[in-house]
Amino acid sequence: MKLATLFFGRRLSNREQGTRKLGWFEAVPAMGLDGLGSASYGPEAALTILMPLGAASLAWIGWVMAPIVVLLAILYLSYRQTIVAYPSNGGAYTVARENLGRNASLLAAASLMVDYILNVAVGISAGVGALSSSIPALQPWTLTLCLVVLALVTMANLRGTPEAGWLFALPTYVFVVSFLGLLVAGLWAIVVTGGHPHPVVAAPHLGDASGAIGVWLFMRAFASGCTAMTGVEAVSNGVSAFKEPVIGQARKTLAVICLVLGLLLGGIAIVAHFYAVGAMDQTKPDYQSVLSQLTAAIAGRGVVYYVAMASLLAVLSLSANTSFVDFPRMCRIVAQDGYLPRAFAVADRRLVFSVGIFVLTVAAGGLLILFGGITDRLIPLFAIGAFLTFSMSQIGMVVHWRRQGRGHAGRLTINALGAGTTVVAVLVILAAKFIDGAWITVLAIPTIIVALYLIHLYYDKLDASLQCSAPFTIEEADPPTILVAVEGRNRMTDQALQFAMTLSPDVIAIHLLRVSGPDTDDDGKRLKEQWQTDIVAPLETRGTKAPRLMLLPAPYREMHEPLLKFIARLDEETPGRSVAVMIPEAVKRRWWEYVLHTNRGARLHRMLLKHGNARVKVVIAPWRPDQV
C-alpha cells in the first residue's frame, strides 16, 4: 500500500473528484493534442507512400494534402453541430446509440477502441521517431524507448489526470508557435527567393524514381495522409468538461484546433515541396522524420531545432495521453450498458478506471512490440478506425436532425456532407490499405463486436436469473449442519469449533486422511483419542453435546470430494437440510505468508462452490496467529 502511495499518490475519496471546468485556452492542449500531433505523421505517411516516385513525390504531395484539408474543413463544420446537439457527451458511441440503434453503436464502440489503441501506438512511435531523428544514436533503441514512454504515460494516468494543465499547455503552445513560425519563415524564404530557397541544412537527396504516379498510388497516399485527421473528434467527446458558455467554449476550441491543424498540414505540404524534403525509411540507421528535415532545412540544427523537436516529442507522447483519458471513459459507458465486463466501470483508488488503462496499455504495448515500434508499419491499421468512427457519428447526426423535424435542413445537409465524404474516405482507405495491414483492423472490429455481444448475452442471462418479483419468504428452516474441517487439535480448530457451536447445535468435525500424499504420517487414530479426552470428555462433563469427529480418506488429495460425498450421505438422512462447511483460515497480512501456507482452504472454498449443490454453504473461521 505504501508503495502504491509512493508511485500513484494517496487514494482519493469520492468527494475529491475534480470539478474544475476548462476554458478554450486550456482545452486546446487538453483535447487538441491528439489532433495536432497527427500533423507530424500524416504528411509523412503520405510522403512515404510516394517514395517510389523519388523527387517527383514533391510535385504530388500538394495534390494529396489538398483534399485532406478540405475534408478537415467539412469535419469541422460537422462536429460544430454535434457539439450543439449533444452538449454533455457527443462521442460517436453515444450518438450512434441514440440515433442508429444498438448494432451501429457497437460498431462505433469497436472502431473507437481500435482507434484509441492505435493512437497510443502511433503517437508514441512517431514521438520516438522524432527523438531518434534528433539523436541518431538512439535509433537502435526504438522499441525499448517506445515501451518506456508507454510505461511513463500509463503511470501518469494511473495517478489520474492532474490539475496541472501547464504540463499539457506548455509543449502544445511551444509546438504550435515554433512550427507555425518555421512554416511562415519557410514560406517567406520561398517567396523572397522566387521559389528557390536555400536550405540551412539540405535534406538528404531523394532516391531515384522507381515508379510513376497512378490512381492507385495516389489513393494509397491519400489514405495514409488521412491519419493526419485522427483526434479531431476529441472536443465533441468531452463537451461536459467546458465552463460556461459551454457551447461557445467548445466551438472555439474546435475552431482553433482545426485551423491550426489545417495550417500545419497545408504549410508542411508547400514547404516540403520547395525545400525538397521527402520521407525516409525509419528502419534505416540514418532515418530523419519529415518534420526534422524541414526544421533543419529552414532553421538549421541549432537551438530552434532542438526546442521544436522537444516540443514535438512531448506533443506526440501527450497525444497518446488523449487515448488514456478517453478510452477508459468510453469503456466505462459501454460497461454500464452491459457490453463490457463490469470491472471497466469501477473507479479505483485514484478515481480513475484502471482496468481500461491496463487494457489500453497491454494492447498498445502488444502492437508496438509486434510492429517493432515503426510508425510506418502501424499507419495502415490506423485511419480505418478513426474514419469509421467519423462516419458513424455523422450518420447518427443526420438521423438526429431528421428526427428533429423541419427547420434543420441546413444542419442536416452539412452532416450529410460529412457523412458522405467520410464514408467515401473509409472506402478509399479500405481499398488502398487492405493488404498493407488494414485487414488486421477489419478483422479486429467484428471480433470485438462479437465479444461485446457475448458479454451482453451473459449479463442479460445473469440479470434474468437474479430477478425476483415475488415478496420475500422464509421457510422457517433449522440451522444448517456444520462440518468443521480440522487438521488436528489446535487453537485454530478450537476457535472454529466454538464458532460453529454458536451457529448450530449440529456440528461434525471432519479430518481428511493423507491429503498431502500417500506416505505422510497422518495418524487418525491418535487424533481420535485426543478428541475424546480433550474435547468430548470436558464437554460431556458439563452436559453439552460434543461434536463428533469423522475421519474420511482423501485418496486423490482433494478435500472437497470426500466432503461432498459425505454431504450427499447426510442429504439422504435429512433431506432438504442446509450444510455449511466451516474452513478455518489463518489470516495472512503479508505476501510471503501466502507462500508459506498451502492455501488449501481457498481451494476448498472454490471447489465446494463449484461442485456442491445449492444447499452447500461455506463459513470462514479466521484465526490470527498473533492473537492469543
Q: With respect to a copy of itself, which residue has the nearer C-beta, 257 or 340?
A: 340
Report the alpha-carbon distance of residue 367 to residue 615 in Å, rounded.
48
Q: How far is the CB of 109 from a copy of itself (least distance, A)?
A: 17
Q: Which of 504, 551, 552, 571 binds a copy of itself (CB under 8 A)?
A: 504
Residues numbered 3-42 forming contacts with a copy of itself, rule: CB under 8 A: 11-15, 17
Does the footprint of a copy of itself cover residue 570 (CB under 8 A)? no
Q: With respect to a copy of itself, which residue has the nearer C-beta, 358 or 439?
A: 358
Report the alpha-carbon distance of residue 21 to residue 191 in Å, rounded.
44
Q: Which of 518, 543, 575, 576 binds a copy of itself (CB under 8 A)?
A: 518
Does the footprint of a copy of itself cover residue 556 (CB under 8 A)? yes
Q: What angle do CA 193, 265, 439 make, to 5 degrees?
A: 135
Tell me whether residue 440 is exposed, middle or buried, using C-beta atoms within 10 angstroms of its C-beta: 0 to 12, 13 to 18, 19 or more. middle
Residue 499 C-alpha cell reads as 464458532
Do 37 and 266 touch, CB atoms closer than 8 A? no
Q: What is the four-CA torsion angle of 531, 536, 538, 542, rounded to 10 degrees?
A: 170
Q: How far is the CB of 144 from a copy of itself (least distance, A)?
A: 18
Q: Which of 219, 551, 570, 586 binds a copy of itself (CB under 8 A)?
A: 586
Give the binding range for a copy of itself (CB under 8 A) out of 171-179, 321-329, 428-436, 578-586. 578-586
Residues numbered 438-457 forming contacts with a copy of itself, rule: CB under 8 A: 455
Q: With respect to a copy of itself, which residue has the nearer C-beta, 215 or 468?
A: 468
Signed CA dihedral, 317, 321, 327, 330: sign only: negative
Does the footprint of a copy of itself cover residue 555 (CB under 8 A)? yes
Report the alpha-carbon distance of residue 589 to residue 596 in Å, rounded.
12
Which H or E element spans position 513? Answer: strand 507-513
Report the alpha-carbon distance of residue 282 to residue 143 in Å, rounded.
12
Does the footprint of a copy of itself cover residue 508 (CB under 8 A)? no
Nearest to 570 by CA among 501, 478, 486: 478
Tell me whether residue 460 is exposed, middle or buried, using C-beta atoms within 10 angstroms of its C-beta: 0 to 12, 13 to 18, 19 or more. exposed
Residues numbered 180-219 forming contacts with a copy of itself, rule: CB under 8 A: none
Q: With respect to a copy of itself, which residue has the nearer C-beta, 212 or 595?
A: 595
Q: How far is the CB of 333 from a copy of itself (least distance, A)?
A: 11
Q: With respect to a copy of itself, which residue has the nearer C-beta, 187 or 618?
A: 618
Give the binding range for a copy of itself (CB under 8 A) out of 209-217, 396-404, 434-442, 615-623. 615-623
Q: How far is the CB of 609 from a copy of itself (least distance, A)?
A: 5
DSSP-derived secondary structure for 362-373: HHHHHHHHHTTT
Q: With respect to a copy of itself, which residue has the nearer C-beta, 247 or 347?
A: 347
Total chain residues near a copy of itself (CB under 8 A): 92
Q: How many Cα neighbours within 13 Å face the side chain of 337?
A: 17
- Count other Cβ atoms within 10 Å, centred on residue 539: 15
Q: Which of 286, 523, 534, 540 binds a copy of itself (CB under 8 A)?
A: 534
Q: How far is the CB of 600 from a copy of itself (least distance, A)?
A: 8
Residues numbered 241-300 forming contacts with a copy of itself, rule: CB under 8 A: none
> Binding pattern to a copy of itself, positions 464-503, x when CB under 8 A?
-xxxx--xxxxx-xxxx--------xxxx-x--xxx-xxx
Q: With respect to a copy of itself, which residue has the nearer C-beta, 202 or 346?
A: 346
Residues numbered 323-352 forming contacts with a copy of itself, rule: CB under 8 A: 341-343, 345-349, 351
Q: Which of 144, 283, 404, 598 binds a copy of itself (CB under 8 A)?
A: 598
Q: With respect to a copy of itself, which residue has the nearer C-beta, 197 or 480?
A: 480
Q: With respect to a copy of itself, which residue has the nearer C-beta, 85 or 515?
A: 515
- Count other Cβ atoms within 10 Å, centred on residue 59: 12
Q: How many Cα neighbours within 13 Å face the side chain of 300?
A: 3
Does the footprint of a copy of itself cover residue 532 (CB under 8 A)? no
Residue 361 C-alpha cell reads as 496499455
Give the binding range for a copy of itself (CB under 8 A) out of 51-59, 112-120, 312-320, 596-604. 596-604
Report the alpha-carbon distance of residue 231 to residue 32 in Å, rounded.
7
Q: With respect to a copy of itself, which residue has the nearer C-beta, 301 or 605?
A: 605
DSSP-derived secondary structure for 378-422: HHHHHHHHHHHHHHHHHHHHHHHHHHH-TT-HHHHHHHHHHHHHH
Q: Which of 557, 566, 570, 571 binds a copy of itself (CB under 8 A)?
A: 557
Q: Which of 3, 212, 435, 614 binds a copy of itself (CB under 8 A)?
A: 614
Q: With respect to a copy of itself, which residue has the nearer C-beta, 413 or 533?
A: 533
Tell me the CA distances in angstroms from 366 to 42, 127, 326, 486, one per residue in order.
23, 18, 20, 47
Q: With respect to a copy of itself, which residue has the nearer C-beta, 348 or 571?
A: 348
Does the footprint of a copy of itself cover residue 596 (CB under 8 A)? yes
First to last CA, the chain: 27
Q: Which of 439, 453, 459, 566 binds a copy of itself (CB under 8 A)?
A: 459
Q: With respect to a copy of itself, which residue has the nearer C-beta, 251 or 329?
A: 329
Residues numbered 60-89 forming contacts with a copy of itself, rule: CB under 8 A: none
Enumerate residues 6+ apart whose C-beta is below 8 A from 241: 21, 22, 27, 30
Enumerate residues 6+ apart whose C-beta is below 8 A from 184: 267
Q: How far is the CB of 551 from a copy of itself (least distance, A)?
A: 14
Signed CA dihedral, 419, 422, 426, 428: sign only: positive
Question: Which pairing describes strands 507-513 and 616-623: parallel, antiparallel, or unpaired?
Answer: unpaired
Q: How far is the CB of 509 from a copy of itself (least distance, A)?
A: 11
